[in-house]
Structure 1
Amino acid sequence: MKTEAVELLLNGALRRITNTDLHSNTYLLADAQQSGSCVVVDPGLDHERVAETIADSGWTPTAILCTHGHFDHVGGTAVLQQRYGIPVYLRSADLKLAKLSNFMMAAFKLKARIALPEFTLLPDDGAVVEVIGRRFTFHALPGHTPGSAGIAVDGLLFSGDSLYARRTALSKLPGEDHDQLRASLRQLFGWIAGDVLVLPGHGGTATIDEIHAGNEALRAFMSAAMPA
């Protein structure tokens, strides 16, 4: 594992909240200078639990970063934006999907409904957001959704629902394209270092090397033939 990632874990600069509905992960990452600011990655539907963790940390959010536009990853964005007056970053290709959040929540038989924030929309691959003394690069990973991204920073990769540690990120949700996801992951695996720590949208963490070695379901998915 990269030294940067080890330091983030050891000094308590990284926190994970597992939301009650659909068990999606929300992450807090503190600033590099330890001045008390942080970013929030993928605030889910359990915004009260997220807010409690923020209060417990003593940090003040300065930005929200979204790996993709599904409701269980953007559900808490509007509440946090209103409370802290901060930007919410999302790749533009997923705006349409985010606007379908309440429709999809009804389809999942969830009683709650959400408001959407004012998104700051990011362009295609390579968009960079510099906040809290860190440089966050949004690498396009279309497939799970058209605008899915892997957000890379300091030896970490917030992978959303494009890459999990111990299983595959497959579903039958609107806009998902398994062939495109396979191509996106092959491209990712072509350049990313094996010691990068992956922080998925659901489930536990693992390094890229650990995923290659132990994720048999992903290995089977990746070995499937691409369309001619």
Structure 2
Amino acid sequence: MSETANHQDQPIIACITVGELAENCYLFACPKTREAVIIDPGDEAERILNAIKELQITPKYILNTHGHYDHICAIDAVSEVYPVPLAIHSADLYMYTDADTARMLGKEGPLVKRKPDMLLKEGDRFTIGTLSLEVIETPGHSPGGVSFLCPEYCIFSGDTLFYRGIGRTDLPGGDYEQIVHSIRTKLYTLPEDLAVFPGHGEPTSIEEEKYENPFVSLD
């Protein structure tokens, strides 16, 4: 588990990299109330649960940036301990129960037995103590891809934007023109000093990607 430096008013952000695809599950918590959200619990539920205990935080929501299997497969196990509201965009909901994906992984479907309590849409807000996260629809890697914005500090970009990279669009439902549009119009318009926490790989910033990302330029 890696954790960002935490000053008195800044959020607690812990990254647990899990599974065969090295997916980043994030814990985002208010330093004052210790209320938290779990973003993309993809695998290795015990490691995620141990990190929650270690940080002494209290989950209030489980949120998905999108529905690909490497981001969802620990939802049920985590939910057994923390049966808090679960949310995903409606366009990716089918991935919870997609039989072909389950067969490909050698698992019995559905990959997620829980039904979501909320279907995400642009502008939805989640309050976590003194902090909030806003939903920004950023499709392209998947039809229902979203990012979660904490305006003062950071954005969780899922598999839309990476350090010097972007999400692949050759999977079912992927759309290259759509992901470029999402990045240019939704992410590159954010403050340049905003930290970006992606679904895979190391953190970056809006400034870094606006000027150095070889896949999506400013124009």
TM-score, normalised to structure 1's length? 0.83
1:15 matched residue in structure 2: 14
Q: 118, 121, 141: which is aligned to 1:121?
A: 118
* Separation in 2, partners of 1:26, 1:165: 16
Alignment of 1:23-38 (within 5 A): 23-33=22-32, 35-38=33-36
* Separation in 1, partners of 2:159, 2:67: 10
Per the TM alignment, residue 171 of structure 1 is displaced from its structure 2 partner at its CA by 4.0
1:84-131 superposed Cα distances (whole Å, 9 cap, x missing partner): 12011112221122322x532432x45586333221233531111223
* Separation in 2, partners of 1:189, 1:118: 29
1:10 is aligned with what amino acid? Answer: N
1:194-227 superposed Cα distances (whole Å, 9 cap, x missing partner): 11111000001111101123322344xx76xxxx
Q: Verify the 8 A CA contact 1:39 1:132 in the aligned structure 2.
A: no
1:66 and 2:64 are equivalent in the alignment: yes
In the superposition, relative to structure 1, how do residues 150 and 84 fare at CA in structure 2: closer, same or farther (>3 Å)?
same
1:208 is aligned with what amino acid? Answer: I
Q: Which has the higher strand share?
A: 2
Report % sequence identity: 28
* Separation in 2, partners of 1:90, 1:115: 12
Q: Verify the 8 A CA contact 1:43 1:73 in the aligned structure 2.
A: yes
TM-score, normalised to structure 2's length? 0.86
1:156-204 superposed Cα distances (whole Å, 9 cap, x missing partner): 1000001111222114211111111111112114531111111000001
Q: Which has the higher helix share?
A: 1
Q: 82, 91, 94: which is aligned to 2:92?
A: 94
RMSD between superposed Cα atoms in Å: 2.2
1:82 and 2:59 are equivalent in the alignment: no
Gaps of 5+ in 2: none
Higher relative contact order (CA 8 A, sep 6+): 1
1:156 matched residue in structure 2: 154
Q: Verify the 8 A CA contact 1:126 1:138 in the aligned structure 2.
A: yes
Gaps of 5+ in 1: 1-7, 224-228
* Separation in 2, partners of 1:105, 1:218: 33
